């Protein structure tokens, strides 16, 4: 577990003041405002709140800024969802970021719309982006904010559902939960996993 991390930091220690925040999604306008892209949308909102800008980087769009004296690196992988782990692994290595300072923001159809769940480990639950992150890092022990997308779809229509846009009845709740998710990211940075879980999960 984390063998590549050990090798990576043999000569350079990870920087405890750096944090990597990952939003999961798919690039391209056809994926805008879809359930599967909520990780992108949360980071777009949070980066804008901090007057930062996105730039094209290796395997991801990248935004950097300071928050509470800490260096924040936000990424939106441009690898498409199924290869998200490649971007996460690259930016952890490039920026010397320890696993405990990595947070992934993702959709979750096993959670009702209107709820956030913050966890420090767990199975991907069928989510291809999380599957690839786990495969690339060799561990399921990375922190994540799971944004409830609901699961109201007929059997066999999961792909169509997650790649579909939020409907009119969901949009108000999505706006409210995006704001909570941004606050949850900040809570995680300042208070750590347990503090953020106590404040925002549920």
> What are the catalytic residues?
36
Phi, psi angle pair for 130, to nearest 5°:
-65, -35
**Contact between residue 64 and residue 50 where contact means Cβ atoms under 8 Å apart:** no
CA torsion sign for 127, 129, 132, 136 is negative
**Contact between residue 39 and residue 123 where contact means Cβ atoms under 8 Å apart:** no
Query: Which residues of 49-172 form beta strands (DSSP E)?
Result: 55-57, 60-67, 70-77, 102-108, 116-119, 143-148
**CA atoms of 154 and 84, how far apart (whole Å):** 27
């Amino acid at each position: 577990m984390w063998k590549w991390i050990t090798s990576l930091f043999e000569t350079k220690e990870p920087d405890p003041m750096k944090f990597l925040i990952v939003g999961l999604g798919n690039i391209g306008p056809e994926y805008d405002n879809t359930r599967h892209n909520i990780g992108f949308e949360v980071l777009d909102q949070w980066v804008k709140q901090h007057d930062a800008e996105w730039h094209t980087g290796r395997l991801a769009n990248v935004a950097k800024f300071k928050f509470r004296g800490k260096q924040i690196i936000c990424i939106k992988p441009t690898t498409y969802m199924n290869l998200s782990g490649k971007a996460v692994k690259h930016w952890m290595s490039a920026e010397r970021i320890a696993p405990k300072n990595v947070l992934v923001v993702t959709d979750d159809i096993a959670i009702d719309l209107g709820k956030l769940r913050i966890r420090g480990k767990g199975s991907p639950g069928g989510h291809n982006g999380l599957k690839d992150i786990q495969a690339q890092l060799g561990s399921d022990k990375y922190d994540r904010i799971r944004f409830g997308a609901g699961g109201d779809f007929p059997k066999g229509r999961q792909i169509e559902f997650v790649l579909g846009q939020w409907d009119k009845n969901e949009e108000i709740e999505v706006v409210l939960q995006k704001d909570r998710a941004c606050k949850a990211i900040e809570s995680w940075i300042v208070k750590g996993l347990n503090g953020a879980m106590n404040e925002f999960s549920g």
